[in-house]
Amino acid sequence: MKRAFIVFFGPPGSGKGTQAKMVAEELGLVQISTGELFRQHLAEQTPLGHQAQEYISRGALVPDEITIGMVRQRLQQPDCATGAIFDGFPRTGEQAAALDELLAELDAELCMVIDFTLPLEVSRARLLGRQEGRVDDRPEVIEKRLSDHAQVEASVMPHYRAKPGLVKTVNADRPIEAIFADVLALARSCLE
């Protein structure tokens, strides 16, 4: 069977995490959410969790070295053999370059980048309405994460747009099921 490695890219509140979970389940892929991995480390109070805590609670990016190391470890687990959906990673140019290298080490490459687009106002409203009790879902931190996303996009997307056909855009300002239908069809095409 073919392996599929796909990046889900989009602003906080775009629903890419929800979609990554649903698509991964449907296609038997692993979801690699760096935000989720960090939250697990925080909950388990690991050394990595301690290192990341200060950055996460103020809505800042965790340094590349820590983040890339964590993804490298995750990709070495056997369940990644069929492929993975990256959710919230990469967020810097260095992370994007590192991901290419990590996949090359596995003799693999990225099949697709799905770019979830939606108006800033919609992201903001969704984040303000979220009741997950996350340490970074406070209004002032939400504003910072939203405004930082423009920088994240400028750092990451040129790397991918340079490769013709790699980036597929999905309108994320729609009901979950409509987005899922599109995203699933796109992701499935990586396995054909």
Binding site for ligand AMP (CB under 6 A): 12, 34-35, 38, 55-56, 59-62, 67, 88-91, 95, 136, 145
Catalytic pick from 21, 72, 124, 134?
134
134 carries an active-site annotation: yes
Catalytic pick from 3, 74, 91, 126?
91
72 carries an active-site annotation: no
C-beta closer to ligand AMP: residue 115 or 136: 136
Catalytic pick from 3, 39, 126, 145?
145
The candidate with the shortest Cα–Cα distance to 34, out of 44, 26, 42, is 42
Long-range contacts of 132-136 (CB under 8 A, 24+ apart): 134/39, 135/56, 135/57, 136/56, 136/57, 136/59
Report helix, strand and coil shares of the chain as percent, to nearest 5: 60, 15, 30
* Residues forming a β-bridge with 169: 115
The residue number with the shortest CB distance to ligand AMP is 35
Asked if residues 71 and 64 have their Cβ atoms less than 8 Å apart, the reply is: no
126 carries an active-site annotation: no
174 carries an active-site annotation: no
Spatial separation of the C-alpha atoms in residues 119 and 141, rounded to whole Å: 18
163 carries an active-site annotation: no
DSSP assignment of 53-91: HHHHHTTPPPPHHHHHHHHHHHHTSGGGGGEEEEES---
CB of 39 to ligand AMP, least distance (A): 7
C-beta closer to ligand AMP: residue 59 or 83: 59
C-beta closer to ligand AMP: residue 47 or 165: 47
CB of 130 to ligand AMP, least distance (A): 11
C-beta closer to ligand AMP: residue 38 or 116: 38
Active site residues: 16, 91, 130, 134, 145
